[in-house]
Amino acid sequence: MSMVNLLAGDVGGTTTRLGLFERTASRPHPVAVRQFATLDFPDLRSMIAAFLDAAPRAELSKAPACFGVAGPVSGDAASLTNTPWPRMEADVIARAFGLSHVRLLNDLEAMAYAVPLLEPHEVHVLQEGRPAAGAPPGNVAVIAAGTGLGEAFLHRADGRDIAIASEAGHADFAARTDRDIAVLRHLVARFGRAQVEDVISGRGLLEIYRAIHTGPCQASIDLGAAGASAAISDAALAGRCSGCADTLNVFVEAYGAEAGNFALRTIATGGVFIGGGIAPKILPALTNGVFMRAFRAKAPFEALLDSVPVKVILDSNAGLQGAANFCSRT
């Protein structure tokens, strides 16, 4: 029988990862991890049951569990923002599987708890930064675009790391350039308002394309097809369509600007970490200078932002690992 001490999950709008973990002195060790398409199941409870049926035999009775959820958490319940699942309730899940207790976190809150555990090979450095000599570790900001846009930060106080969730992805989009203004007008006409998430997310790429792409698409993108966002970024990175390249450029610039905004709001001298499923797939577009120029263009605070380490999280299981890390501490 496997030595399993906890169950963890990273519940996203498109993809969900579940894992059984063993506590260790450093970071929880995965015993079994599996990835699911979220909408293949009617709810989290049925997905957990399927996972446990296929996982190595393990004694979970009275073990704790923690799930990062892509939506707001209220008390011991949460709902997915972009997925029509029923409301998740911690006590219902605990009773169904005989767990000692279940904690629900916002998914970016969970990802923030993974940051202190990340190894050098699990990140790509966009900016080394210049941490102040002799200063204690500062706050860390985490921003992640995928199905939606999540933002959270790790507040460091009295030697402890406390992750704080937000719904900043649903704040108003701040246009900076003429092309941003075109996107803003398009979104207001289409939805009544422009959220940051309407620009910086998978569907945001589609909206930018609709707003600024003119003339025939050299890559023949079908906006109604599954995977259209990935097709736009692939065409842009391969140089097959100038309009797709413009679309990705606006996306990356907006992403960098919002990351810089969040760094200022949280005074993230400990670093900004870019998570989510999109960033690793468009890494060449994040490393060509556009992202970091927009990140730093915050006069009179360019020097402050130039000192902040900025890193892309490459580990797709970071949210799951963070949920397990939080669970192992409780």
Q: What is the pLDDT of residue 57?
A: 59
pLDDT < 70 stretches in the chain: 1-3, 56-59, 134
Measured CA to CA, the distance from residue 249 to residue 126 in angstroms comes to 17
Q: Which two tokens stand for residue 53?
A: 């049926």
Query: Does the model's pTM come out above 0.85?
Result: yes
**Cα within 13 Å of Cα(134), Cβ side:** 0
Express each pLDDT in 54-75 by its tens digit. Answer: 886 566 778 999 999 999 999 8
> Which domains does the chain possess?
6-113+317-329 (3.30.420.40), 122-313 (3.40.367.20)
Q: How far from the centroid of its chain's Cα atoms is residue 67's Cα?
A: 14
Question: Does a cis peptide bond (omega within 30 degrees of 0) precede residue 309?
Answer: no
Helix (H, G, I), strand (E, B) or coil at 192: coil
- How many whole angstroms separate alpha carbon 324 and alpha carbon 27? 9
Model pLDDT for residues 180-196, shown as the tens digit of each residue: 999 999 999 999 999 99
For residue 1, what pLDDT is reported? 44
Pairing of strands 271-275, 160-165: unpaired
64 — alpha (psi -120 to 50), left (phi > 0) or beta? beta
Q: What's the pLDDT score for residue 59? A: 66
